[in-house]
Every structure is written in C-alpha cells, then in structure tokens.
Structure 1
Amino acid sequence: MDIDNPLVLIAEDETEIADIISAYLEREGMRTVRAADGRSALDLHLLLKPDLIMLDVLMPKLDGWQVLSEVRSRGGTPVIMLTALDQDIDKLQALRIGADDYVVKPFNPVEVAARARAVLRRSGGTASHMLRVGSIEIDLDSHLATVLTEAGPVHPALTLTEFRLLSHMARAPSRVFSRGDLIDACLPGGEALERTVDSHLSKLRRKLEEAGAPGLVNNVRSVGYRLADVR
C-alpha cells in the first residue's frame, strides 16, 4: 500500500452517494475505483487489490455481507461498511464477519474520509514498502514489480536500474521527471548520460507493455518522463 496515495474501492450502487464519497476521498489524496454491485466489487478486489473497501450493505447480485465474507476469506483488506440500517444487530454482524468500521447513512462525508484515513493508518504497518500506480504494484523490499491483469499477476523481468526508475517515478505519479533527476536518483555515476536514461526507459516501457500495462511510461517532449496515473 502507498500510504500517501491509497486506492479505495467504493462498492455502492447509488451513483450520487458514490460521487460524494469519491470526491471527498480524492480531496484527501486517495485514489478511488467504483463497483455498482457485489459481484463487480469482488472482481475488482481480486484484480486491483485495493488498500480499503467502502462497502454498502444493500447491493444488487451480492449483498455487502456476502462480499465482506468473501473478502475476509481472501485476506485482510480493511473494510468500512455503509448502511442505512441503524441497528445494533447490523453493527454486531459487521464486526463479527470482520468489518473494520461501520458508517450509518445519512453520513457526513468529511467524517467518512476521516474514518477512511484512520482505518488505513491502523492497517498500514507495512505501507511504506509497497507502491501502486494503476495496475502496477511495486514491492520495494523484494524488488518485485507486478502487473495485475484479468488473467492474473504478471512479473516483468526488470533489471535493477529499470526497477529503480519505475519505483522512483511511482512515488510521485504524474510528476514529470527530467533526465537529470532520473540520473541523480537512479543511475550509477558511470552511466550518467541522458541517452542512457532514454535507453533504460525504452526497455522498461516495452517490458511493461508486454506484461499488460501499456502506456504507463510517457515521454514529455523537451522535459522528461512521467508515469501515467491510470486507474
């Protein structure tokens, strides 16, 4: 998880409510993706591995309890339940199945964003070791990049320099890095030539495209390079 730019899956079938939650979370620096029914929520959870799920109880196809139960069988993704049912039994059920928090509609979106941050902080003990940009996960400890595709995870075979370039740019998605920036941060002194940066990034772009992440590395004419923050 990138604690400064976490990905939140909003599983909510009411578009207006999803719009409000998304706007307030993004204002707090979070990225969001949406699901309008329980089945889509589980599919996106498997594909994107979000850092947090905001989960409505009453949804089409699969309800929130079914989704929560399946998410818990897969691992420890934090979940905040959203429901209009202000009853103690529902709160107890959410906590029993494994929800991390519970918000009753109608709610204050500022409070929802604050609760999301609080849950992310509690669950983020290893957050600084993981970065995410679009469909790419970067494990800084294992020096492993993973492209999350519909067919499953793909691990492109990156050189140390390619991994350094990818992880350095992933810390600030959409920022444009000059070649000089990238040389100073990622390349050993003996390779400090701008054309060498171009060569490494060209190979990195090709490997990511072959792994299923096209268009991630972008050249900004006369300036440098950036990663597209694809959602």
Structure 2
Amino acid sequence: MTASPISPAKEKETILVVDDEASIRRILETRLSMIGYQVVTASDGMEALDCFRESHPDLVVLDVMMPKLDGYGVCQELRKESDVPIVMLTALGDVADRITGLELGADDYVVKPFSPKELEARIRCVLRRVEKEQVAGIPNSGVITVGDLRIDTNKRQVYRGDERIRLTGMEFSLLELLVSRSGEPFSRGEILKEVWGYTPERHVDTRVVDVHISRLRSKLEDDPANPELILTARGTGYLFQRIVDPVAPEGA
C-alpha cells in the first residue's frame, strides 16, 4: 500500500500587535495564536518599527494612543517602506480621529472597547483579500491604458508614463473593482463587500470607502478636487470613467 503524499503545511501568517496596554497584547496574542497565527508584539511605536523590520509581518494591528511614537506616526513610517495591511485600534470618540488613520494609509480600523471576535473577523477579511490578490486578477487581465495612466492588473501596479504610482493593496483592489465595470456605478455597500469582504449586516461605517476613494484620487487624478477618472455617482457610490479601448494583453 502506497502512502498518499503529504501536502506541505501552509506557513503561518505573522501578525504584529502593537499596543501599550499589556492586557490587550496578552489577550490578542493568545486568541490569534489559538486560531493559527504567529504573533509578535510591541508596546510602543519605536519598538513597533523595530519589530516590523525584523519579523516582516503579514498584517499589523496598531493602537493609536501610545508613548514615544503614536499609531499615526507608525502608520506613516510603515507606508514609506511597505504596503503591509494595517488595522488600527482607536479609543478616540471623534469620527474625524478615526478617519485620520485611514487617510494616513491604514486599511481598516476597530474602535475600543472592541470584541476580539470582531477584530479577528476583520483580520481574516483583510488577509483573505491579500491571498486572493496573489492568485488572480480581474477577467481579461492585462494592461489597461487610460490617457497617460497604465494599470497593470497582473503585476498589480499603476504607472503614469514611466513613473510608478505606489498604491497599497487595498487601494489597488478598490481601483481594480471600479475598472472591472467601468462606466457603471458601485454602491458603497457593494464596495465594502467586494473589497473588504463585509456583508451588509456588519454595519461598517461606509466612510471607510470614501476615505480610500479620496486617497486614490489624490494619487491618480491631475486635480483631485475635480476628478475625471474616479467619479461620484450621486446618491449611489462611485464609478470609473468608461474605458473605450480594450484591455491590452501584457507584453503586447
């Protein structure tokens, strides 16, 4: 009898948890380890940057209010060198404060006090999206040209002329979704479901979408205040301008 070949075990994904409260670090380290993640922790912003560079995590859970360097500062530093997914933890009650992290490049946020199950669900959604990015693009994927903008859906890169425009994974996924149905609007609910993986019953703040749209416009539009590529569908959501030229196969 011949034994069946054993499939190689999937390498554990690493999560960096950054919080100055030891109790939160312990809870998250225990729970995330129990569901299969490798967990690295840091207690302040400077330690977080060191841990990030040493461990190269797949995702960062980042508290806002911390000594030495706050979560906003850490987020800014990480975005200078990496597109790693970032989920921010904030105890700040003002919505504007919550949105600040998104504007600086975070992918999502969770408000303290939070349910560990809710955070785990958001982590799964983000990592599932990253995994899908690594294996597939949109149908008829290739290079899409819009004016001087070139969107490579295979390499998940965007260029203006010869200059690469750096997008986070979430930003590219959002752009890819809009381009996949150019000229047709997506509601904010559709975008949350397709890009973030959130179902309607999750009651997620749709301003997450608005902030990411704003970030995309700031990077892609000549005049973000008067966008010509990513348009607002009043009362509905957003759409990418209709693309007339067919998608060019990569290398064509």
After superposition, the C-alpha distances for 1:71-127 in whole angstroms (9 at most, x for unaligned) are 001110110001111321022211111111101110000111111111111123466
Correspondence for 1:184: none
Counterparts of 1:12-161 in structure 2 under 5 Å?
12-125=19-132
Structure 1 residues 3 and 41: CA distance shift in structure 2, 3 A: farther
**Residue type of the partner of 2:78?**
V
- The structure where helix makes up a greater share of residues is 1
**1:27 Cα deviation from its structure 2 partner:** 1.7
Query: Deviation string for 1:153-181 (max 9, x for gaps)?
Result: xxxxxxxxxxxxxxxxxxxxxxxxxxxxx
User: What are structure 2's unaligned runs of at least 5 residues?
Assistant: 1-8, 136-252
Distance (whole Å) between structure 2 residues aligned to residue 92 and residue 111 of structure 1 = 19
Once residues 7 and 41 of structure 1 are traced to their aligned partners in structure 2, the CA distance between those partners, rounded to angstroms, is: 14
Helix, strand or coil at the partner of 2:89:
strand
What is the one-letter code of the residue matched to 1:113? E
CA offsets, 1:31-73, max 9 Å, x none?
1011011001001111111001000001111000000000001
Give, in angstroms, the shift of residue 24 of structure 1: 1.6
Amino acid at match of 1:116: I
The CA distance in 1 between the partners of 2:78 and 2:98, in whole Å, is 18
- Supply the distance in 2 between the matched residues of 1:81 and 1:22 (Cα, whole angstroms): 16
RMSD: 1.8
Whole-angstrom distance in 1 between the partners of 2:27 and 2:93: 20
**Could you tell me which amino acid in structure 1 is paired with residue 96 of structure 2?**
I
Q: How many residues align?
A: 127
- The equivalent residue for 2:17 is 10
Structure 1 counterpart of 2:102, which letter? L
d(CA) in 2 for partners of 1:40 and 1:95? 22
Counterpart CA distance in 2 for 1:90 and 1:28 is: 31
Once the two structures are TM-superposed, the CA of residue 3 in structure 1 deviates from its matched residue by 6.8
Which blocks of at least 5 consecutive residues in structure 1 are unaligned? 129-231
Spell out, residue by residue over 1:167-201, the C-alpha distance to the aligned partner (whole angstroms, 9 max, x if none). Answer: xxxxxxxxxxxxxxxxxxxxxxxxxxxxxxxxxxx
Which structure ranks higher in relative contact order (CA pairs < 8 Å, sequence separation ≥ 6)?
Answer: 1
Percent pairwise identity: 44
User: SS at the partner of 2:80?
Assistant: helix
Q: Check the 8 A contact 2:32/2:38 in 1, yes or no.
A: yes
